[in-house]
Amino acid sequence: MFDADALDKLQDLTQAANIGHPGTHVPTMLVPRGYDLVSLEKYMENPGRFRGNFATSSIEDYAAYVNAEDKSRVFVDIDSMRAKGFFDLGTHLDPGHADHTATLALDKTAPFAALLNADGTAYGQKDLAAWIEDWNGNIEGEDSTGDSMSPNQLAAAVRRIEIKASSESAHEDNDWSASRSGLDRLDANTGARTPAIIRFSCIPYEGLSLRTFALRVSIIADDQKPKLKLRLIGLEAVKEEIAQEFKRVLASHLGANATLLLGNFNKG
């Protein structure tokens, strides 16, 4: 005679058998444990479908992977300099699982990262002179009259800055002087030539073209030891140009089977 537990288990097995195949391409079965759906894929010689995400920072390697697939849709986020391709997205009538993807995330080059870090930074004389010398292969200067200055001339001019105090009743504020109080004024003097612009040339991201960025040099003369502040001119416009170049370069590397779209796609 069966006890109550045995009868319940027998009933569960009978119901599971009657339900039959749950209707999925991945082998599964119903087991009488609250009727959980259990995948047997891990026991198969081959998986039910290809899954995975290829990730790289190289445009060439990304294109090689995408072009090896039969069909893909690539979504480009120009704000973050990233692209994500889907190879099994399907359509709204025949949707795919969207779990075979390839991601491209461009990394800033070391010079470009150094340039962005310098933007808005107030340097001491020695620190700015050292920064100029560290990146002398990327730098050219321009003085207040528009004449060019070599990296060595720039660094020397920065080191020569002197602060002089004078009394003045009028207030004026510009790149190379600032009022400290109503009657006291601090002026910066570099001698014969005053650095005005630093031009910094670099490739911002690997695979894109060389660009020249302009940094305006101004002085914060509110102490006996001056600070020199660098500001990138037209940074937002330059970022837009770089992003558009990213899209063009990526499009030129992708084959006819890849559809390139601006934006992001998130699986619902």
42 found inside a domain: yes
Q: Assess whether 157 and 268 both reside in one domain.
A: no
* Least confident residue range of 94-103, 167-176, 184-193: 167-176
pLDDT at residue 5 in the model = 63
**pLDDT tens, 24-63?**
666 666 665 555 677 787 877 777 777 889 999 999 999 9
Distance CA 73, CA 262 (A): 11
238 found inside a domain: no
**pLDDT tens, 129-178?**
999 999 999 999 998 888 999 999 999 988 887 765 544 434 445 555 55
Distance CA 243, CA 6 (A): 68
* Nearest Cα residue to 102 out of 125, 74, 78: 74
4 found inside a domain: no
Q: Assess whether 97 and 54 both reside in one domain.
A: yes
pLDDT at residue 52 in the model = 86
| Number of domains forming the structure of the chain | 2
Decide if pLDDT at 15 tops 70.
no
Q: Assess whether 228 and 123 both reside in one domain.
A: yes
Q: What is the mean pLDDT of residues 172-196?
A: 56
pLDDT at residue 168 in the model = 45
> What are the strands, taking DSSP E only, across the chain?
28-31, 36-39, 52-56, 72-77, 82-86, 100-105, 122-123, 139-143, 148-149, 162-167, 177-179, 184-189, 195-202, 211-220, 227-232, 258-262
Distance CA 52, CA 61 (A): 16
Q: Assess whether 249 and 213 both reside in one domain.
A: no
2 found inside a domain: no
76 found inside a domain: yes
Q: Assess whether 248 and 229 both reside in one domain.
A: no
Note down the domain range covering 118: 110-233
5 found inside a domain: no
Q: Assess whether 86 and 169 both reside in one domain.
A: no
Q: What percent of the chain has pLDDT over 90?
A: 51
Q: What is the mean pLDDT of residues 185-207?
A: 79
Q: What is the 3-state secondary structure (H, E, C) of 90-138?
A: ECCCCECCCCEEEEEECCECHHHHHHHHHCCCEECHHHHHHHHHHCHHH
